[in-house]
Amino acid sequence: MKILAWTDERFKPGEAKGGVTLDGVKINNSIFVPLLEDKDADGDEVKAELKRTGFSLKVTGHRKSQNQKKGLIISQKPVGFSQVSKPGLIYVIVSDGP
């Protein structure tokens, strides 16, 4: 098993670097997709995360949800913490509330 060291080094979108971090930074030339589910699609937290990681958000639909308030992200593709080669679009479904 290969053990990788964790780093807090940030990157510029599209920049290929080694090192290990999570949620929008590189690990072995892959980027972890930020986890946006259960967050407000129009909120400052999501906007800051997208800006920091270089990803963009595209709302592909809305759906009623008994479990989530209106405006919260129900699902996303690619899923949070999956690895991609470079930042791109994150497609989301947003709650219309109960």
- Residue 25 in this model has a pLDDT that exceeds 60: no
- For residue 52, how far is the Cα from the chain centroid? 10
Q: What is the pLDDT of residue 30?
A: 82
- C-alpha to C-alpha distance for 24 and 71, rounded to whole angstroms: 23
- Mean pLDDT of all residues in the chain? 81
- Residue 7 in this model has a pLDDT that exceeds 70: no
Name the class of domain 33-95.
Answer: alpha beta
Quick check: pTM over 0.85?
Answer: no
Query: 37: burial class by Cβ within 10 Å (0-12, 13-18, 19+)?
Result: middle
12-29 per-residue burial string, b: 16 or more CB within 10 A, e: under 16: eeeeeeebebeebbbbee
Q: What is the pLDDT of residue 75?
A: 97
More confident residue, 19 or 95: 95
CA angle 48, 21, 32 (to 5 degrees): 65
